[in-house]
Structure 1
Amino acid sequence: MRANAVLFWVLCAFFVVETVLYAAWGWWSRANVEWTGTVAMALCAVLSALVAFYLMHAARQLPRLPQDHREAEPDADDGEVGQFSPHSWWPVLLGASGFLLFFGLATEIWISFIGAAVGVVCLVGWVFEYYRGHFAR
């Protein structure tokens, strides 16, 4: 965790330097600062500083993890990764329904209703995948 915090502090320093250079370049080339990009990069610096501060604080509160030790073996922290649905088509169909939903927002609203309906069916199918069919328990 401490290594991640250091990376975010480096990222924060990079954004601070880039913000200053961007504002100075705008002032030098056009005699005014381009505020949208300057504020956006400054907010990126603030966001990375917030994440780095949280990670530093959390690293002090938690015990050291096996992956934090330099001499640790790769399999020192083999744990449960999660349960994944084998051969499941529901996530693909749910992504397609999301595409229909947002495509309908961009073109015609009635396509969004079809995408939302298909999305509800796909979400219910994905949630109840292990209660029926080949992988029922």
Structure 2
Amino acid sequence: MKTESRIFFIPGAFFLLVAIVYGFLTHFQELVGFPAILLSAAFALMIAFYFRMLEKRHGERPEDRDEGMVSEQSGDQGLYAPWSWWPLVLAFGCALAFVAMAVGWWVMVPAVIVAVIGLVGWVFEFSTGRFSH
């Protein structure tokens, strides 16, 4: 994960530097370019820090070493819900949100409600028994 975090950290630092220079050159009066470049830096740095946290949590992977073997990665790779309907509900809410941009902003209210229900249902799908809330 060290390589992945560097892949996103370098553009994040670059966009942060460019945003500061751009802000000074435009006297921070330009209301689109400076925030957009700053957001690009924030998104890249957010992904870089996420990969760094994963590296600390999971340690070194076989693909991070030169002598790593493919057979070291055999077995389960995570917990997935193969028969879950919640992603469909979330996708419907997001599609409804895109329809709201074309039809009218009043459609955004039910879109957000459906999307939040889908997201909460998907996140807490396995919260049963000892882990229930």
- TM superposition score normalised by structure 1: 0.48
- TM superposition score normalised by structure 2: 0.49
Q: Who wins on radius of gyration, i.e. which is larger?
A: 1
